[in-house]
């Protein structure tokens, strides 16, 4: 099977491409906006249907791991559907997110009503899923995966920046504000599910959807404390709701603006402390628990135990320069 991986320079896409190239049944080619010195790599703008259609010719399937802004996620998904139909690329395996469930709580299965109300990211992902349904209605095949929070080696979002916040004393035991379920899933388990989705037999008009999260994933407070102990970011602080809100709502916007300004000016070597997005405050207290019985049963996913994922996440973070430690991240944002 010839497989094109869109967003192959990202955390999940890069790992998937590595795993595909180690198999005997798939020939994996990476694609992103920037060319790499790789014979099996294509430079493609995922928002350009004409470029995509040209790139997809001869491929049996495409895996959509594209991240970025709303235009890249939603507009890119619509462009991909148009291009795949034109190029006669039969199957799309689309990486969605648990964010499509919005503020839902309790045990959530794949047939839950989607809720795009929490922000641009969830809204864009809902639009991208609608594009996949359109692809199936026009005769294509699609499989959707909705992972929780992807950790493991290389995860800047759920290991790198959290580790830095812990080291800086900006994160720790949040009390009731961190009592939600983390829904962590190891990057290798996501890639395992993506590979199984490429091979999954499908009936005409069928579009299966699978939640992805480790069944033994802990609550956020437990993860913060466990990771802090593993990376020796101790003693673990007790963070009040007031300090957390001050960090996110008062310190966050200027830090984000400064980061964008430095990037615009080309000062990529200057590292600022990670801004704390206000949306995370809701996530950390949200009592949502992804039901993953379908992925366990139909995709035969063998979940990485939490303890193993925690250990190799910490080993990656503490390796020299692996986690991209900002030079100024000893700054603590306090009211």
Q: Mind listing the pLDDT tens digit for each residue in 6-21? A: 999 999 999 999 999 9
Residue 179 sits at φ, ψ, to 5 deg, of: -90, 5
Mean pLDDT in residue range 82-107 = 97
What is the rounded distance in angstroms from the CA atom of residue 180 to the CA atom of residue 185? 15
Question: 297-300: long-range contacts at Cβ-Cβ below 8 A with a sequence spacing of 24 or more?
Answer: 298/200, 298/208, 298/210, 299/192, 299/193, 299/196, 299/197, 299/200, 299/210, 300/196
Give Cα separations from 157 to 162, 272, 284, 300, 332 (angstroms): 7, 15, 14, 27, 19
- CA–centroid distance for 10 within its chain: 9
What is the rounded distance in angstroms from the CA atom of residue 330 to the CA atom of residue 269? 17
pLDDT tens readout for residues 138-163: 999 999 999 999 999 999 999 999 99
What is the rounded distance in angstroms from the CA atom of residue 104 to the CA atom of residue 327? 38
The verdict on whether omega for the bond into residue 235 sits within 30 degrees of 0, i.e. cis, is yes
pLDDT at 259: 80
Do 54 and 107 contact (CB within 8 A), yes or no? no
Domains in the chain, please, with CATH?
2-147 (3.40.50.720), 156-179+219-285+305-318 (no CATH)
Instruction: Write down the mean pLDDT value for the chain.
Output: 93
pLDDT tens readout for residues 37-94: 777 899 999 999 999 999 999 999 999 999 999 999 999 999 999 999 999 999 999 9
Residue 286 DSSP code: -
pLDDT at 326: 45
pLDDT tens readout for residues 191-225: 999 999 999 999 999 999 999 999 999 999 999 99
30-34, 51-55, 174-178, 193-197: lowest mean pLDDT where? Answer: 30-34
pLDDT at 35: 75
Our CA angle for 169, 254, 100, nearest 5°, is 80
What is the rounded distance in angstroms from the CA atom of residue 273 to the CA atom of residue 331? 7
Instruction: State the pLDDT confidence band at 321, using cuts at 50, 70 and 90.
Output: low
pLDDT at 310: 98
Give Cα separations from 212 to 1, 37, 70, 96, 293 (angstroms): 24, 33, 22, 10, 9
């Amino acid at each position: 099977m010839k497989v094109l991986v869109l967003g192959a320079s990202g955390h999940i896409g890069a790992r998937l491409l590595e795993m595909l190239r180690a198999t005997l049944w798939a020939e994996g080619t990476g694609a992103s906006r920037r060319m790499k010195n790789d014979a099996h790599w294509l430079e493609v703008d995922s928002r350009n249907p004409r470029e995509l259609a040209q790139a997809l010719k001869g491929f049996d399937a495409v895996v959509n791991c594209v991240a970025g802004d709303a235009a890249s996620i939603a507009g890119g998904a619509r462009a991909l559907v148009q291009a795949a139909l034109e190029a006669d690329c039969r199957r799309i395996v689309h990486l969605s997110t648990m964010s499509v469930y919005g503020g839902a709580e309790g045990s959530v299965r794949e047939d839950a009503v989607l809720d795009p109300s929490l922000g641009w990211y969830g809204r864009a992902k809902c639009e991208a899923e609608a594009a996949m349904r359109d692809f199936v209605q026009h005769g294509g095949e699609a499989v959707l995966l909705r992972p929780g929070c992807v950790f493991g080696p290389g995860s800047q979002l759920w290991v790198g920046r959290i580790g830095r916040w812990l080291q800086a004393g900006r994160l720790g035991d949040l009390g009731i504000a961190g009592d939600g379920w983390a829904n962590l899933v190891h990057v290798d388990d996501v890639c395992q599910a993506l590979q199984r989705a490429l091979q999954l037999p499908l009936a005409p008009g069928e579009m299966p959807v699978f939640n992805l999260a480790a069944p033994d994933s802990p609550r956020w407070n437990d993860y913060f404390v466990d990771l802090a102990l593993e990376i020796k970011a101790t003693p673990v602080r007790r963070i009040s709701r007031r300090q957390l809100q001050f960090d996110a709502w008062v310190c966050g916007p200027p830090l984000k603006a400064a980061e964008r300004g430095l990037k615009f000016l080309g000062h990529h070597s200057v590292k600022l402390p990670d801004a704390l997005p206000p949306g995370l405050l809701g996530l950390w207290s949200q009592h949502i628990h992804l039901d993953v019985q379908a992925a366990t049963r139909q995709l035969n996913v063998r979940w990485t135990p939490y303890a193993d994922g925690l250990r190799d996440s910490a080993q990656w973070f503490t390796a020299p320069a692996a986690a991209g430690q900002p030079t100024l991240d000893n700054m603590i944002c306090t009211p």
